[in-house]
Structure 1
Amino acid sequence: MLSDRSTATVRATLPAVGAAMGDIADLFYEKLFAAHPELLRDLFNRGNQASGDQRRALAGSIAAFATQLVERPGTRPDAILDRIAHKHASLGVAPEQYEVVHTHLFAAIAEVLGDAVTPEVAAAWGEVYWLMANSLIAAEERLYAQQGVLAGAAWREWEVTARIEETKDVTTFRLHPADGSDAPAFRPGQYVSVQVELPDGARQIRQYSLSSAPGSPLRSITVKRVRGAGTPDGEVSRHLHEHTRAGHLLSLSAPYGDLVLDDLDAPLLLASAGIGCTPMLSMLEHLAGEGHDRPVTVVHGDRSPADHALRTDHVRLTEKLPDAEAHFWYETPDAGHPANRTGLVDLNSITVWPGTHAYLCGPLPFMRAVRTQLLEAGVRPADIHYEAFGPDLWPTAP
């Protein structure tokens, strides 16, 4: 927790720092990449940098952390920290990199805020930073230890054993460790990072949910091709779609991610949109394999049945559960599709069981709308879990 002196200083300066955090984040990344261009080339997502999403996520996470420190002393925003720690571990972030971040972040703060950054203000915000950084370092060390890997040595070669075209824009890659050893254990809903070398020599990294269950002999990732011609957007998914075939090798991290089933005795609701179905498929396959007999409600929204990746598996796995039902909404449905399942997902037309634990994955507007409907149906906020593909902008989204 913050010292009393720093708490007073942070509380007094939080409005000014929070208002300037976007400019601070912009300047921070500019300074960081000027000093360490290899970080943009081989660690940070160039698409998220180009769009500004990573800058907004950084600003939001620091502001949220500082706000909780001063408003609820003695507590930490563990949900934010856990999500960041899992993402960092999947990238192989090492403890010494936090010192590099500190150097350039505080140079940016001093430049943006100028004379307002007195020694007292710098010390107080330094305390905030290191409370956050040391919490993340400790959490990441635990995650690395659980997976039996060292920080900065996260990558392992996997062989592509099959490539399956799910839709015109979605492909599943089946994988196994290239050295023939056992695949690491994971929990349904988790993801792996995939690192590929692009034509310009950059080794870019993206995260993809494991779409198979932990008990499957092979691992699968299902990748949607992101179309953003002329920008870094989708450069890894395009590379995988255009160049990766059976027999090729991919560099994968160990599995990470905090969107995992936490109470199998409660009624479950698995809600997804688009390619957000992938962690839900892993959860469904796991539940079916375990003979799960509690209520499960499956919800999915997509452009059309033809765009609904893994639709057959979505139906098949739901039907294997004795007390489960699936509801699919399509913006452009096939003939005969129910009229009340046309358009955007609307939970008002289905039963949300008391005590439901909900798991969400999809575009941010979809997850915000579904969360609002769940809260209106009486689901506790603590029982609504989500996975954001890319930087987590939920805390700062309008």
Structure 2
Amino acid sequence: MLSAESAALIRATLPAVGGALDEITTRFYATMFAERPELLDGMFNRGNQASGAQRRALAGSIAAFAGALLADPDTRPDALLARIAHKHVAVGVTEDQYTIVHKYLFAAIVDVLGEAVTPDVAAAWDEVYWLMAGALVAQEARLYLEAQVRPGHPWRRWTVVERREETPDTASFLLRPSDGAPAPRARAGQYVSVRVRMPDGVHQLRQYSLSSAPGDETRRITVKRVRGDGAPEGEVSNLLHRTVGVGAELTLSAPFGDVVLDDGDAPLLLVSAGIGCTPMVAMLEHLAATGSARPVTVLHADRSPADHALRADTRRLIGTLPDARATFWYERDAVDEPGSRTGRMDLAGLEPAAGASVYLCGPLPFMREARAQLLRSGVPARAIRYEVFGPDLWLADAAA
């Protein structure tokens, strides 16, 4: 649905725009937040702003969308944006905010590229932007409707009814709606945004996967404290660990996320590392709660058994499923977990069941390597789904 005239101009200018996207998005965010500082209060993750992760993700999504339009100008690549739409509704993005973004983004493009942005070039990129924005607005409207929440207001108060220390750096919080009404519908694999007020008065949001089966009354999130280790520490995770106990109230969004357990009966391969185990445990709990007989293979890598959050839950659930098995890899102290392996996860020699559905979650380098090994093992790319915590830099790097 990109006009022929615009397609020609986008094709001619994409190398220049793509090469300058990092500078463009840097200027875009700096100017927008300088003039609209309220957007940093409860909308944007300032940790991702400081690290540049959000900037890279935005640049990658624009480049990927423009490239997809050029590959097939008669089709709007809506599927490419599904993950972004879920992230947007989980933080309360509304249709009017696309006009704000347009204003500052296009001002940044002109500032960076100067005279190269002729009126015709500007009009062509304007067409790309509004095609992308229109697709996102439509998807987000549908997601708000399905979640039965008003656009921009996905929030609800929840009470912590149990806190459990999983590892020295990981805690689980069992929550119940504070108003006593049933919990909203969720699917195994989805996440919620947690909205907290920081000591400086600014609200910050973080997404955490549900780590329990979607029930009618409670939800569980499992939060790993992000320590500094040479980089800024996670301000929200550390606040939750320090201050939230039984009886505390948290503000959570409705559940969102497009990487969810399918409803079929194909074999499942759940591959995770670190805190990436959380959506996998939710999937296992759902399978156990529904009496599923699907064949399930769980593969997990961690630093040590002591660092492996929800390890006991995983073992328990594997034991309740009729055709399930698990293999764990640990960088150290593997002897403390019977049957585990020492070192990093190695999928060489893996023989996945025919037609298996594969789910990946963990640090991005881990997922890239695991996916490459799975492809070499004969797993088709279409069968592999992945969840990224934070901005989707996999997409950004692929578009670079």
Q: Is the 1:46–1:232 contact (alpha carbons within 8 Å) kept by the matching residues of 2? A: no
What is the CA–CA distance in structure 2 between the aligned matches of 1:350 and 1:333, rounded to whole Å?
24
Counterpart residue type for residue 52 of structure 2: G
What is the CA–CA distance in structure 1 between the aligned matches of 2:176 and 2:220, rounded to whole Å?
9
What is the CA–CA distance in structure 1 between the aligned matches of 2:374 and 2:293, rounded to whole Å?
22
What is the CA–CA distance in structure 1 between the aligned matches of 2:208 and 2:277, rounded to whole Å?
12
**Structure 1 residue aligned with 2:145:** 145
**Structure 2 residue aligned with 1:105:** 105
1:221 and 2:221 equivalent?
A: yes
What is the CA–CA distance in structure 2 between the aligned matches of 1:151 and 1:347, rounded to whole Å?
43
What is the CA–CA distance in structure 2 between the aligned matches of 1:109 and 1:62, rounded to whole Å?
12
1:80 and 2:73 equivalent?
A: no
SS at match of 1:347: coil
**Structure 2 residue aligned with 1:292:** 292
CA gap of 1:234–1:81, structure 2 versus 1, over 3 A, is: same
Aligned residues: 398
1:273 and 2:282 equivalent?
A: no
Counterpart residue type for residue 383 of structure 1: A
SS at match of 1:291: coil
Bigger mean CA deviation after superposition, 67-76 or 30-39: 67-76
Q: Tell me how far 1:10 sits from its aligned partner.
A: 0.4
Bigger mean CA deviation after superposition, 211-220 or 324-333: 211-220
CA gap of 1:78–1:379, structure 2 versus 1, over 3 A, is: farther
Q: Is the 2:334–2:341 contact (alpha carbons within 8 Å) kept by the matching residues of 1? A: no
Post-superposition Cα deviations, 1:196-216, rounded to whole Å, max 9, x if no partner, equal 001000000000001110136
Q: Tell me how far 1:305 sits from its aligned partner.
A: 0.2
What is the CA–CA distance in structure 1 between the aligned matches of 2:337 and 2:251, rounded to whole Å?
41
Q: Tell me how far 1:79 sits from its aligned partner.
A: 4.1
Q: Is the 2:223–2:237 contact (alpha carbons within 8 Å) kept by the matching residues of 1? A: yes
**Structure 2 residue aligned with 1:130:** 130
Counterpart residue type for residue 198 of structure 1: M
What is the CA–CA distance in structure 1 between the aligned matches of 2:340 and 2:284, rounded to whole Å?
24
Counterpart residue type for residue 376 of structure 2: E
Q: Is the 2:166–2:310 contact (alpha carbons within 8 Å) kept by the matching residues of 1? A: yes
What is the CA–CA distance in structure 2 between the aligned matches of 1:136 and 1:221, rounded to whole Å?
27
Q: Is the 1:2–1:128 contact (alpha carbons within 8 Å) kept by the matching residues of 2? A: yes
What is the CA–CA distance in structure 2 between the aligned matches of 1:143 and 1:230, rounded to whole Å?
38
CA gap of 1:326–1:228, structure 2 versus 1, over 3 A, is: same
What is the CA–CA distance in structure 2 between the aligned matches of 1:190 and 1:337, rounded to whole Å?
29
SS at match of 2:348: helix
SS at match of 1:32: helix
Q: Tell me how far 1:381 sits from its aligned partner.
A: 1.0
What is the CA–CA distance in structure 2 between the aligned matches of 1:212 and 1:57, rounded to whole Å?
29
Counterpart residue type for residue 283 of structure 2: M
Matches within 5 A, 1:1-398: 1-215=1-215, 217-228=217-228, 233-335=233-335, 341-397=341-397
What is the CA–CA distance in structure 1 between the aligned matches of 2:289 and 2:76, rounded to whole Å?
36
What is the CA–CA distance in structure 2 between the aligned matches of 1:343 and 1:90, rounded to whole Å?
36
Q: Is the 1:215–1:286 contact (alpha carbons within 8 Å) kept by the matching residues of 2? A: no
CA root-mean-square deviation: 1.6
SS at match of 1:335: helix
What is the CA–CA distance in structure 2 between the aligned matches of 1:341 and 1:249, rounded to whole Å?
40
Gaps of 5+ in 1: none
Q: Tell me how far 1:388 sits from its aligned partner.
A: 0.3
Counterpart residue type for residue 14 of structure 1: L
What is the CA–CA distance in structure 2 between the aligned matches of 1:193 and 1:361, rounded to whole Å?
18
Q: Tell me how far 1:80 sits from its aligned partner.
A: 3.1
TM-score normalised by L of structure 1: 0.97
Q: Is the 1:263–1:357 contact (alpha carbons within 8 Å) kept by the matching residues of 2? A: no
Q: Tell me how far 1:78 sits from its aligned partner.
A: 3.7
Gaps of 5+ in 2: none
Post-superposition Cα deviations, 1:24-66, rounded to whole Å, max 9, x if no partner, equal 0100001110111111232110110010000000000000000
What is the CA–CA distance in structure 1 between the aligned matches of 2:263 and 2:77, rounded to whole Å?
21
Counterpart residue type for residue 240 of structure 1: L
What is the CA–CA distance in structure 2 between the aligned matches of 1:362 and 1:75, rounded to whole Å?
33
Q: Tell me how far 1:341 sits from its aligned partner.
A: 2.0
What is the CA–CA distance in structure 1 between the aligned matches of 2:397 and 2:368, rounded to whole Å?
9
Q: Tell me how far 1:349 sits from its aligned partner.
A: 4.1
CA gap of 1:35–1:229, structure 2 versus 1, over 3 A, is: farther
Q: Percent identity?
A: 62
What is the CA–CA distance in structure 1 between the aligned matches of 2:77 and 2:226, rounded to whole Å?
32
SS at match of 1:385: strand
Q: Tell me how far 1:233 sits from its aligned partner.
A: 4.1
What is the CA–CA distance in structure 2 between the aligned matches of 1:231 and 1:363, rounded to whole Å?
16
SS at match of 1:223: strand
Q: Tell me how far 1:289 sits from its aligned partner.
A: 1.4
Q: Tell me how far 1:339 sits from its aligned partner.
A: 9.0
SS at match of 2:250: strand
CA gap of 1:336–1:257, structure 2 versus 1, over 3 A, is: closer
Bigger mean CA deviation after superposition, 351-360 or 235-244: 351-360
Q: Tell me how far 1:396 sits from its aligned partner.
A: 2.9
Bigger mean CA deviation after superposition, 152-161 or 230-239: 230-239
What is the CA–CA distance in structure 1 between the aligned matches of 2:394 and 2:192, rounded to whole Å?
21
Bigger mean CA deviation after superposition, 336-345 or 383-392: 336-345
Counterpart residue type for residue 235 of structure 1: E
Post-superposition Cα deviations, 1:332-384, rounded to whole Å, max 9, x if no partner, equal 13326679821111112433112111001100011001111111111111111
Q: Is the 2:305–2:336 contact (alpha carbons within 8 Å) kept by the matching residues of 1? A: no
Post-superposition Cα deviations, 1:115-134, rounded to whole Å, max 9, x if no partner, equal 00000000000000000001
Q: Tell me how far 1:245 sits from its aligned partner.
A: 1.0
What is the CA–CA distance in structure 2 between the aligned matches of 1:338 and 1:348, rounded to whole Å?
21
SS at match of 1:348: coil
CA gap of 1:323–1:206, structure 2 versus 1, over 3 A, is: same
TM-score normalised by L of structure 2: 0.96
CA gap of 1:341–1:27, structure 2 versus 1, over 3 A, is: same
